[in-house]
Amino acid sequence: MTPKLSTFLSRINRKTIWSVAVILTLGVAAVGGYTYYSKIFLATRSADHSEVQTAIVRRGDLIVSASGSGTLIAQTDASFGFATSGQVTDVYIKVGDQVEVGQVLGQLDDTLAQMEYVEAQQALLELYSAASIAAVQQEIGTAQDTEFYAREWLEYLISEDVVEAEENLAIAEQKLANAQAEAKTNPSETADQALKEKEQEQAVTFLSEKLDQAWTYYENVYLFENFAQYETMGRGRNAKQVLVTETDPVTGEEVPDIDEPSIDDIAIARNTLAQARETIRENEIYLEVLKTGVIPEAATGERLTALYEAQLAVENAQDALQDKQLIAPISGTVTSLDLSIGEQVDKDTSSTTSASSATVTLFDLIADEPEDNETSSTITISKLSQPYTLDVYIDEADWTTVAQIGNKVNVTFDLLDGQRFPGTVTLVYPVLSESFEASLVHLIVQLDQRISQDLPAGTGADVEVVGGEVRGAVLVSVDALHETEAGKYAVTVLQNGQQVERKIEIGLQNDTYAEVKSGLEAGEIVVTQ
């Protein structure tokens, strides 16, 4: 058994100290002797002519406590290493140094990472250059020309009236959809939303009728005026244009021969116009993004995609550059360091941060074996701040009596012999600890206030956990108690030479005495056997 374990168990094996400070309220010795003779000896002799054991109910102080062993611990520990692999070029700290969160502690060779970061920045800046913006503006101009001619061609194919009616109807339908969406978003404004929806529905109905009328005119008039076939008859001055006719296969009538636009021709014209408008929209949004730096929601386009990828490349390169630095995740004291200049390190995969006040512990169980190149954390930072916190262990027998959150504690540090500091139990672990030779109750204790001395983590301490105490209470021997039912007790009292059973209410108790809340008075005699 190691000296440290022996020391720890010796503290625990002082066992639970049931401290009973009994303030006796007896008279002088002569009076006491007379009392014993007259009240105890004679009474016990006369009760059924047989001897019984008795005890006198007294008034005093009762303290229930348990002793244990404690160790000063850090409120937070962080063990970590580099987030990437590389060669160590600088180490800026040593064991014992105080560091702040975000402080750079070490550095890996970042030559290649610096180059990649610069290249990514240059690629992004190129998108913001005057030449790049000019190219976008030129593309917008070309698309606007395409839009103009594509619209004129579509108007020729299906008539200007139809194109205009379709556009007006599309606008009205979008407004109706917006009004319906707004009604779902703000249901409290029911009346106003209903009015808006009704107005937009009426507009859609009206414009749908206008579009139908435009198509009717197109079929009855526009096609004949613009696509009827003519042929030249005669020559010279006698030449004239004559309408070409054909026989209707259904009616047998002679009807004009009209070479109307095909469905494919119209679809191509529509697509050309839509693509030109989309090109203009995407590039105008792109230019606005370059000016403001804000990408609108649902914005699309090849240029926006390229911009996003360039920004992401800069962020990734910046992250890779930062990974070359060892940065403190918390403030505290460097308690361990395994790092030297020139050393080749691998990516750390075991970084952890733990808080002593945590009430939940999570374990990440990974079935796969770790790779050979995985390394342990290279540095540990401990945040030891006041009021101090201790890891405390007491005997498992004290679980029900003193292991309660909020119980008061008296702490005596090994380095400050003779000085006691008050504290409070802040955590009781729900399972027994089997880290030692015996099963122990694990507690976390925090001192109630700061102390003037600075102590290192790991400082040992003797700890007394107080389960309860009463002052000036009526006390009765636990040997006199008879449990009549769960939580209820009675005692046998010697009264006028007779044994009389009496129900009592008890409070705090230990292995020797119990506090009497009602049913007995100090000075009465009770039977203990």
54 with 134, same domain: the answer is: no
pLDDT given at position 502: 93
Give domain status of residue 105, yes or no: no
Instruction: Tell the burial category of 475 from Cβ atoms under 10 Å away from its Cβ (0-12, 13-18, 19+).
Output: buried
Q: What pLDDT was estimated at residue 157?
A: 96
Q: Same domain, yes or no, for 134 and 50?
A: no
- List the beta bridge partners of residue 395: 440
In a shared domain, residues 252 and 138: yes
In this predicted structure, what is the pLDDT of residue 436? 77
**120 neighbors 314 (Cβ within 8 angstroms):** yes
Are residues 272 and 202 part of one domain?
A: yes
Give the chain's length.
Answer: 529
Are residues 151 and 46 located together in one domain of the fold? Answer: no
Q: What is the pLDDT of residue 460?
A: 94
Q: E strands, 350-407, where?
A: 352-355, 379-383, 389-395
Structure tokens at 426: 């802040």
Q: Give every CB contact of residue 317 below 8 A, 6+ residues apart in sequence.
A: 113, 116, 117, 119, 120, 121
Residues 498, 47: contact at Cβ < 8 Å? yes
Alpha carbon distance 108, 316 (integer Å): 17
Which residues contact residue 459 at a Cβ distance below 8 angstroms, ignoring those fewer than 6 apart? 71, 72, 413, 414, 415
Verify that 486 and 396 share a domain, yes or no: yes
Instruction: Cis check for the bond before 329: say yes or no (omega within 30 of 0).
Output: no
> Is residue 411 situated within a structural domain?
yes
Contact 518, 27 (CB under 8 A): no
Backbone angles phi, psi at 200, to 5 degrees: -70, -35
Whether 411 and 514 map to the same domain: the answer is yes
Q: Which helix (H) or strand (E) holds 203?
A: helix 190-217
Strand partners, 91: 106
Alpha helices in 1-129 (DSSP H): 3-12, 29-35, 42-46, 111-127
- 48 and 171 together in one domain: no
CA 60, 66, 69, 74 dihedral sign is: negative
- Predicted confidence at residue 377, as pLDDT, reads 63
Residue carrying structure tokens 């995407």: 282
Total domain count, the chain? 2
Sheet of 344-345, strands arranged across: 325-327, 104-108, 86-91, 344-345
Residue 424's CATH number: 2.40.30.170
Q: Which DSSP category does 471 fall into?
A: E
Whether residue 128 sits in one domain with residue 39: no
The predicted pLDDT at position 350 comes to 63
Domain residues for the domain of 151 are 124-301
Q: What residue type is assigned to position 356 of the chain?
A: S
Domain's final residue, options 253, 275, 301 = 301
Q: Would you state the pLDDT for residue 236?
A: 79
Residue 99 located in a structural domain: no
Edge-to-edge strand ranges of the sheet holding 98-99: 98-99, 332-337, 379-383, 76-80, 352-355
- 52 and 174 both lie in a single domain: no
Task: Retrieve residue 104's tokens.
Answer: 């750079």
CA distance 98 to 110: 26
Q: Are 426 and 408 in contact (CB under 8 A)?
A: no
Give backbone dihedrals phi and psi of 71, rounded to 5 degrees, phi first. -135, 130
Q: 301, 316, 350: which is the final residue of a domain?
A: 301
How many CB atoms neighbour CB 168 within 10 A? 15
**Is 349 inside any structural domain?**
no
Query: Cα separation of 85 and 102, whole Å?
Result: 20
Residue 362: what pLDDT?
33
Q: Does residue 115 belong to any structural domain of this protein? A: no
Residue after which a domain boundary falls, among 284, 301, 318: 301
Q: What pLDDT, in 10s, does the model give residues 427-483?
A: 999 999 887 778 999 999 999 999 998 888 889 999 999 988 899 999 999 999 999
> Is 10 part of any domain?
yes
User: Which stretches of the chain score pLDDT less than 70?
Assistant: 1-50, 188-192, 350-377
| pLDDT (tens digit per residue) in 233-262 | 888 788 888 888 888 888 888 889 899 999
Q: What angle do CA 499, 503, 505 make, to 5 degrees?
A: 135
- Record the tokens describing residue 219, joined without a space: 């079929």
Q: For residues 51 and 160, state if they share a domain.
A: no
In a domain, 17, yes or no: yes
Same domain? 159 vs 271: yes
Candidates 344, 315, 428; CA nearest to 66 is 428
User: Has residue 370 been placed in a domain?
Assistant: no
Q: Is pTM, for the whole model, over 0.75?
A: no
Rg value, the chain, Cα? 47
